[in-house]
A and B are shown apart, each in its own frame.
Chain A
């Protein structure tokens, strides 16, 4: 008979690493999404090109390749990253590129008249974005951001392959030590699903908050 309590503890430790990666990765992805998404709408051609190259590059190659590149190739350029740093960097930059398109789409979806009204009211570029456009664009972005965050959560499983001890890695350890396959993998599948559910519930709550007071602004 196998004593499961120790192994469950191992998987829960892995769950903490997975959560940490998801939170840090999402934070970086959010910053990159706004930087690149607004960069693509910039009036300077240089910024637009830079943002487009970033987005196309990270959407065109897979997260797996980016992660391996960050972990195995960057050290040769003198940048040595811990597995956690490499994981956060790759996940954040990858999902950030997808998020950037969401930001761009949502900002472009705000009607011309809003921009014109801002010009008529003599608001500067910063104030126009900060106080008029983004508050209306944010509720449009949130549902897709929620999906992106779930994609990021699912992406964290890949970091187990660069020896980071996340949930998937711990499940492999349990498999190797006990020879049981069903229990560790079924457990982590359920845990991943629970985390995904938590993210989508949190996003629905945020969405309600962000769209508060916007009733009737848009049809």
Chain B
């Protein structure tokens, strides 16, 4: 079978439609992951072992099991207990929770990097724990984490084709349905690969820029 450019142009609108959903899922997933990660990281540092232990185990469990199975779990099991989610919502929650556990490790490293003198100074000036977190620790901890977080969000972008398994009509699913109806697999699947490669390569350049901009911890 030969490569057919006319067919590529013909399917392009459908693929771009899918790409839009892929990007929406990535952005929403990244937001959920950033929030979930922060909550997990703070809960894991809790002085109460009844909080920190189970949270730590849960995070390890989520990180040690496949995203695909977690998506199935959210999509098929939750309706049994009355939580009915649209495919895209289920996908975003799955991506967000899965990558949130990775983001939690990045936050943890970032928070550990804030010198303990900053904590002590915050306490000495009579700031509450909440104020110390919001005004002292997090503003210093977050900028150096940005490149590492961005790295995970690129990884998450590359995992979004899994959402096609729970019937989200993203890029991969659009390509599959085009392939199934026309019996041509070469162009759709290859174009999906090309889209991902191009976007990943662009994000790698953006990542380099973020590293230049934020990763200089020593210049503080």
Least CB distance, A150 to chain B, in whole angstroms: 6
Least CB distance, A184 to chain B, in whole angstroms: 9
Interchain CB contact under 8 A, A181 and B185 = no
Interchain CB contact under 8 A, A192 and B162 = no
Q: By the criterion of a CB under 8 Å from any partner CB, how many residues of chain A are at the interface?
A: 38
Q: A56 with B201: in contact, given A65-B189, A192-B65 (CB under 8 Å)?
A: yes
Q: By the criterion of a CB under 8 Å from any partner CB, how many residues of chain B are at the interface?
A: 34
Interchain CB contact under 8 A, A57 and B197 = yes
- Would you give the 0/1 interface string for B66-110, flagging 1 where the beta carbon is closer than 8 Å to chain A? 111110110011001000000000000000000000000000000
Least CB distance, A141 to chain B, in whole angstroms: 19
Q: A189 with B65: in contact, given A60-B197, A68-B189 (CB under 8 Å)?
A: yes
Least CB distance, B118 to chain A, in whole angstroms: 28
Residues of B within 8 A of A59 (CB): 200
Residues of B within 8 A of A72 (CB): 179, 185, 189
Residues of A within 8 A of B13 (CB): none
Interchain CB contact under 8 A, B64 and A196 = yes
Interface positions, chain B 157-207, Cβ under 8 Å from A, are 158-162, 165, 172, 176, 179, 185-186, 189-190, 192-193, 196-197, 200-201, 204
Which of A44-52, A106-114, A152-160, A203-211 lines the interface with chain B?
A: A152-160
Q: A154 with B66: in contact, given A61-B200, A65-B161, A76-B185 (CB under 8 Å)?
A: yes
The answer to whether the Cβ of B50 comes within 8 Å of any Cβ in the partner chain is no
Least CB distance, A93 to chain B, in whole angstroms: 13
Interchain CB contact under 8 A, B193 and A61 = yes
CA distance A63 to B190 in the complex (A): 13
- Would you give the 0/1 interface string for B197-220, flagging 1 where the beta carbon is closer than 8 Å to chain A? 100110010000000000000000
Q: A189 with B69: in contact, given A62-B161, A65-B193 (CB under 8 Å)?
A: yes
CA distance A157 to B160 in the complex (A): 14
What are the nearest 4 A-B pairs in CB distance? A196-B64, A157-B66, A62-B158, A60-B200
* A residues with CB within 8 A of B: 56-57, 59-66, 68-69, 72-73, 76, 150, 153-158, 160-161, 168, 171-172, 175, 181-182, 185-186, 188-189, 192-193, 196-197
Beyond known contacts A59-B200, A61-B158, A68-B192: 6 more, CB 8 A cutoff: A62-B158, A64-B161, A76-B1, A154-B67, A185-B72, A193-B61
8 A-B pairs with C-beta separation under 8 A: A65-B161, A68-B172, A68-B176, A73-B185, A150-B64, A188-B69, A189-B61, A189-B70
